[in-house]
Amino acid sequence: MSDTGASGRRSWGARLVILIPALWLTVLFLVPFLIVLKISLSQSVIAQPPYTPTLDLTGGWQAVRDFAAALSFENYKLLGSDWLYIVSYLRSLGIAFAATAILLAIGYPIAYGMARAPRGLQPVLVMAVFLPFLTAFLIRIYAWINILQREGLLNETLLALGLIREPLIWLSTDTAILIGAVYSYLPFMVLPLYASLEKLDDSLLEAAADLGCPAWRAFWLVTVPLSLPGAVAGALLCFIPIVGEFVIPDLLGGSGAQMIGQTLWVEFFSNKDWPVASAVAVVLLVALLAPIVAYQRLQARALGER
Amino acid sequence: MNVEPPVRRVYVAGMADGNPEPAASRGAAPGLKPGRAPWAVPGARPLVQFEAVVKRFGGVTAVDRVSLDIYEREFFALLGPSGCGKTTLLRMLAGFEIPTEGRILLDGQDLARVPPHKRPVNMMFQNYALFPHLTVEGNIAFGLRQDGMAKSAIAARVKEMLALVKLEGYGWRKPHQLSGGQRQRVALARALAKRPRVLLLDEPLSALDRKLREETRFELIDLQDNLGLTFVMVTHDQDEAMTLADRIGVMNAGSLAQVAPPAAVYEQPNSRWVADFVGDINLIEGIVASVGLGETVIGARAGGRLRVAQNVEAKPGATVWLALRPEKIQIDTQPPAAFDANCLAGQVADIGYLGDVSHYKVKLDNGLALKVSIANRVRLVERPIGWGDRVWLSFAPEACVVLTQ
Ligand SMILES: Nc1ncnc2c1ncn2[C@@H]1O[C@H](COP(=O)(O)OP(=O)(O)OP(=O)(O)O)[C@@H](O)[C@H]1O
Ligand SMILES: [Mg+2]
């Protein structure tokens, strides 16, 4: 928006176009975030709403001042001192990181194959990647419980193939969380990767071959660098929501250590501690801001290359 | 091959007869050093050989039974209208397309099983195909790195190439930060950097402005001489083919219509199609009246007899076409005195003044319309010949060619 200031000559239409998303973000993101931020600075009480102080604008300036004085960073200090939260954060980041790495490893060949498929077939393949979304997310995760349980499809298949003698324990492990996350987020990895690989000009690979570069090396020197923006977009689209994932660890994971989404849920609904839950959410958001900013930088650079 | 650098582009008129037959079947033209016209030397071994190469894309025949020999150090130009298969021919030599039929040999070795990255051939792509994620230097160095060249040697070569294409100081830019012409020069530098046995150039200069194009032409020639490279260039710019090439292959709808040095293609086209495609020409249809003693008499269909100083391989009564370049016709306001020349009378229908030359369109009494161009040797204050003027056109029997196909 920096170039709007250059002159007031921008037409009203152009301003309106910027205004709509700005309004959208303000109403649906900034305002709720400020409310959450405000709650995270208050204290839990048994009342309705379950925190204090509350802001009463009818009380005038004095009320606002009293309200501000009563805010504190106690909840954040708690998050920093209690291992429960720290472990929960680290665990979430670890699982999200591992899941994203697996997603990248599985998603890249799929996207590559799609981009190399005959032109006429590609829209069909894109549809096929979307297909799982036609079933509700929750139902699909429940289906995984069936597959992963002791007498489930996975163990039966492995037993039938003679790969294992005893049924393995899949459900309620981190492996189950990873399987669930990889399964659920695969389209988010494949589609941006496909978009960037599909744009790749074949004549660049020909040029590489022409200059003496065998196909496998051309893949590393040309294909991979040029699909990097797609890989980063896919990784962020998967990593960020997996960090805050609640359903998958709750249904497929064990009862031991929790992911941060579960912690938040427990604080909010079981402990009714809205301020701590809000603080958990704010810290999570700030932690995830770093990769988003990094992505924006990359995107701005990619846009400059057009 | 000849050790000393060959002196460029000296052709004896009629040196090659414009015959697309294998070079070895013809004798070396007198007065030429061997090596300057290797295609005319019996037994000379070609560097690149296309043997009855056919390429079909589904139902489309892009290249149709092309047989062509290209010799070491030759500058060969493929000239032809859009879509006639020039790029496809180059791509087969580079290894990106596999011939449907026929063989391609390099140095006598069949290339069928040699993958593109192992061919000592570099191509400058028609769309440049620069790597967008690499800088100009990175692009130029790409091929050198594949060869495992030493870092310092690469740096030196890149610098040399940048100087050659006049892009010093642009080394750190990315392709998207360059103009179209600059990108084209990077593509050229990248293809040249490896000093390939054969350099394939697909419309190498089309995006350059006129001045830069002319400069680059000379640099290409110098470079080819100094490095002893063989160039195969695709172009549809006739001037470019004429000035650069040792030989021109004129392509039409997938096949080679004529392969000959520029002068021969211009002066001795072997078919109406080539005559019409290369430069401006008047084609006069006629019937052979008599042949003999180095002279053929042709009765123009529209009326009038024309003499040609050429033995035509056609029997009396056969239909032939007389091809006459506009600049070889003399235009006069009086009946000309020289009576051995062919002479036709008519009226000026149109005049185009281009500064250096003037074009006239003359409607002849027999109904034909001929194009005539006259060099403006003196400053024109007032046109000596105007619209509707009665004029006499004359041309020497040596000025025209008779085409039988
Ligand atoms: N991959 C392909 N699939 C199908 N047809 C093709 C393919 N490549 C080329 N052709 C066809 O082959 C013919 C020759 O194409 P080519 O690119 O060789 O022409 P060109 O002489 O280089 O033309 P221009 O001067 O426009 O570059 C054209 O009719 C084109 O449509
Ligand atoms: Mg082409």
Instruction: Kindly provide the ipTM of the predicted complex, given to two decimals.
Output: 0.77
Report which protein residue has its CA nearest ligand 1's atom 25. Answer: B82
CB atoms A209 and B147 under 8 Å: no
Quick check: B177 and B100 in contact, CB under 8 A? no
What's the pLDDT at B133? 92
Give chain A's mean pLDDT: 88
Range with lowest mean pLDDT among A145-149, B156-160, B177-181: B177-181
Interface test with A, best of B90, B117, B121, B130 (most A CBs within 10 A): B117
pLDDT band at B298 (very low <50, low <70, confident <90, very high): confident
Q: What's the one-letter identity of residue B367?
A: G
Report which protein residue has its CA nearest ligand 1's atom 29. Answer: B83
Q: Write a three-state SS string for chain B.
A: CCCCCCCCCCCCCCCCCCCCCCHHHCCCCCCCCCCCCHHHCCCCCCCEEEEEEEEEECCEEEEEEEEEEECCCCEEEEECCCCCCHHHHHHHHHCCCCCCEEEEEECCEECCCCCHHHCCEEEECCCCCCCCCCCHHHHHHHHHHHCCCCHHHHHHHHHHHHHHCCCCCCCCCCHHHCCHHHHHHHHHHHHHHCCCCEEEEECCCCCCCHHHHHHHHHHHHHHHHHHCCEEEEEECCHHHHHHHCCEEEEEECCEEEEEECHHHHHHCCCCHHHHHHCCCCEEEEEEEEEEECCEEEEEECCCCEEEECCCCCCCCCCEEEEEECHHHCEEECCCCCCCCCEEEEEEEEEEEECCCEEEEEEEECCCCEEEEEEECCCCCCCCCCCCCCEEEEEECHHHEEEECC
CA distance B101 to chain A (A): 22
May I ask the CATH architecture of the domain A78-305?
Answer: Orthogonal Bundle (1.10)
Look at residue B155 and tell me whether its pLDDT is greater than 70.
Answer: yes
Residue B347 CA to residue A134 CA, distance in Å, equals: 80
What's the pLDDT at A303? 63
The whole-number average pLDDT for the span A149-158 is: 91
Q: What's the one-letter identity of residue B161?
A: M
What's the pLDDT at A293? 87
Q: Which residue of B has its CA nearest to A306?
A: B176
Candidate from B117, B127, B143 with C-beta closest to A214:
B117
Range with lowest mean pLDDT among A79-88, B216-225, B275-284: B216-225
Calculate the CA B72 to chain-centre distance.
Answer: 18
Q: What's the one-letter identity of residue B365?
A: D
Report which protein residue has its CA nearest ligand 1's atom 24. Answer: B82
Q: What's the one-letter identity of residue B22?
A: P
Look at residue A286 and tell me whether its pLDDT is greater than 50.
Answer: yes
Quick check: B212 and B191 in contact, CB under 8 A? no
User: What are the φ and ψ backbone dihedral angles of A76, each rounded to 5 degrees?
Assistant: -70, -35
* Contacts of B352 by beta carbon, 8 Å cutoff, 6+ apart: B358, B359, B360
What does DSSP say about strands B319-324 and B400-403: parallel, antiparallel, or unpaired? antiparallel
Q: What's the one-letter identity of residue B373?
A: S
* Contacts of B315 by beta carbon, 8 Å cutoff, 6+ apart: B288, B291
Residues in B touching A204 (Cβ below 8 Å): 129, 131-132
Residues in A touching B117 (Cβ below 8 Å): 208-215
Q: Given ligand 1 and candidates B60, B93, B123, which is best to mutate, with the most ligand atoms within 8 Å of its CB?
A: B60
Quick check: B382 and B398 in contact, CB under 8 A? no
Residue B79 CA to residue B201 CA, distance in Å, equals: 12
Range with lowest mean pLDDT among A36-40, B161-165, B226-230: B226-230
pLDDT (tens digit per residue) in B99-140: 999 999 999 899 988 999 999 999 999 889 999 999 999 999
Q: Is B197 near chain A, with CB under 8 Å?
A: no
What's the number of CA atoms in the CB half-sphere (13 Å) around residue A220?
5
* Contacts of B145 by beta carbon, 8 Å cutoff, 6+ apart: B154
Residues in B touching A306 (Cβ below 8 Å): 176
Residue A220 CA to residue A276 CA, distance in Å, equals: 47
CB atoms B174 and A217 under 8 Å: no
CB atoms B131 and A207 under 8 Å: yes
Task: Give the ligand whose atoms come closest to the C-alpha of residue B59.
Answer: 1
pLDDT (tens digit per residue) in B334-361: 887 766 678 888 999 998 888 888 899 9
Closest ligand 1 atom number to CA of residue B63: 14
The whole-number average pLDDT for the span A189-207 is: 93
Residues in B touching A212 (Cβ below 8 Å): 117-118, 143, 146-147, 194
Distance B89 CA to ligand 1 centre (A): 10
What's the pLDDT at B5? 43
Domain architecture of chain B: domains with CATH: 7-120+200-210+225-279 (3.40.50.300), 280-403 (2.40.50.100)
Look at residue B10 and tell me whether its pLDDT is greater than 80.
Answer: no
Q: Which residue of B has its CA nearest to A305?
A: B176
Report which protein residue has its CA nearest ligand 1's atom 16. Answer: B85
Residues in B touching A214 (Cβ below 8 Å): 115, 117
Q: Which of A221, A231, A248 is nearest to A103 (CA)?
A: A231
Look at residue A302 and tell me whether its pLDDT is greater than 80.
Answer: no
* Contacts of B131 by beta carbon, 8 Å cutoff, 6+ apart: A204, A207, A208, A222, B138, B139, B142, B175
A244: left (phi over 0), alpha (psi -120 to 50) or beta: alpha
Interface test with B, best of A211, A301, A306 (most B CBs within 10 A): A211
Report which protein residue has its CA nearest ligand 1's atom 5. Answer: B57
What's the pLDDT at B385? 82
pLDDT (tens digit per residue) in A219-254: 999 999 999 989 998 999 999 999 999 999 999 988
**Burial group, residue B176, by CB count within 10 angstroms (0-12, 13-18, 19+):** exposed
pLDDT (tens digit per residue) in B241-267: 888 899 999 999 999 999 999 999 999
Joined together, the tokens standing for residue A108 give: 């890249």
Q: Which residue of B has its CA nearest to A204?
A: B129
Residues in B touching A226 (Cβ below 8 Å): 132-133
pLDDT band at B19 (very low <50, low <70, confident <90, very high): very low
Closest ligand 1 atom number to CA of residue B81: 25
The whole-number average pLDDT for the span B216-236 is: 85
Instruction: Give residue limits of the domains in chain A.
Output: 78-305
CA distance A210 to chain B (A): 5
Residues in B touching A209 (Cβ below 8 Å): 95-96, 115-117
Quick check: B96 and B129 in contact, CB under 8 A? no
Look at residue A1 and tell me whether its pLDDT is greater than 60.
Answer: no
CB atoms B117 and A305 under 8 Å: no
Torsion, Cα B36 B40 B42 B44, to 10 degrees, reads: 50
The whole-number average pLDDT for the span B131-155 is: 94
Report the DSSP beta bridge partners of residue B329. Answer: none
Q: Is B147 near chain A, with CB under 8 Å?
A: yes
What's the pLDDT at B8? 44
What's the pLDDT at B1? 40
Give the residue carrying structure tokens 């709403």: A49
Calculate the CA B380 to chain-centre distance.
Answer: 33
Residue B199 CA to residue A284 CA, distance in Å, equals: 58
Closest ligand 1 atom number to CA of residue B251: 21
Joined together, the tokens standing for residue A128 give: 């096929």
Joined together, the tokens standing for residue A291 give: 């990769």
Q: Which residues line ligand 1 (CB under 6 A)?
A: B 57, 60, 62, 80, 82-88, 126, 236
Q: How much of chain B exceeds pLDDT 70, in percent? A: 89
What's the pLDDT at B9? 41
Give chain B's mean pLDDT: 84
Distance B377 CA to ligand 2 centre (A): 39
Q: How much of chain A exceeds pLDDT 90, in percent? A: 53
Look at residue A3 and tell me whether its pLDDT is greater than 60.
Answer: no
Give the residue carrying structure tokens 């001192």: A81
pLDDT (tens digit per residue) in A117-142: 999 999 999 999 988 888 899 999 99
CB atoms A226 and B133 under 8 Å: yes
Report which protein residue has its CA nearest ligand 1's atom 26. Answer: B82
CB atoms B96 and A206 under 8 Å: yes
User: What are the φ and ψ backbone dihedral angles of A164, each rounded to 5 degrees?
Assistant: -130, 155
Candidate from A201, A212, A226 with C-beta closest to B129:
A201
Task: Give the ligand whose atoms come closest to the C-alpha of residue B55.
Answer: 1
Quick check: B13 and B47 in contact, CB under 8 A? no
Residue A165 CA to residue B371 CA, distance in Å, equals: 94
CA distance A219 to chain B (A): 13
Q: What's the one-letter identity of residue A192?
A: P
Residues in A touching B189 (Cβ below 8 Å): none
CB atoms B118 and A212 under 8 Å: yes
What's the pLDDT at A4? 44
Distance B236 CA to ligand 1 centre (A): 14
What's the pLDDT at B32? 34
Q: How much of chain B exceeds pLDDT 90, in percent? A: 40
Interface test with B, best of A196, A201, A210 (most B CBs within 10 A): A210
A84: left (phi over 0), alpha (psi -120 to 50) or beta: alpha
CA distance B176 to chain A (A): 6
Report the DSSP beta bridge partners of residue B288. Answer: B298
pLDDT (tens digit per residue) in B375-396: 888 776 666 788 888 898 888 8
Residue A115 CA to residue A217 CA, distance in Å, equals: 19
User: What are the φ and ψ backbone dihedral angles of A169, each rounded to 5 degrees?
Assistant: -95, 115
Look at residue B97 and tell me whether its pLDDT is greater than 80.
Answer: yes
Joined together, the tokens standing for residue A220 give: 């590393």
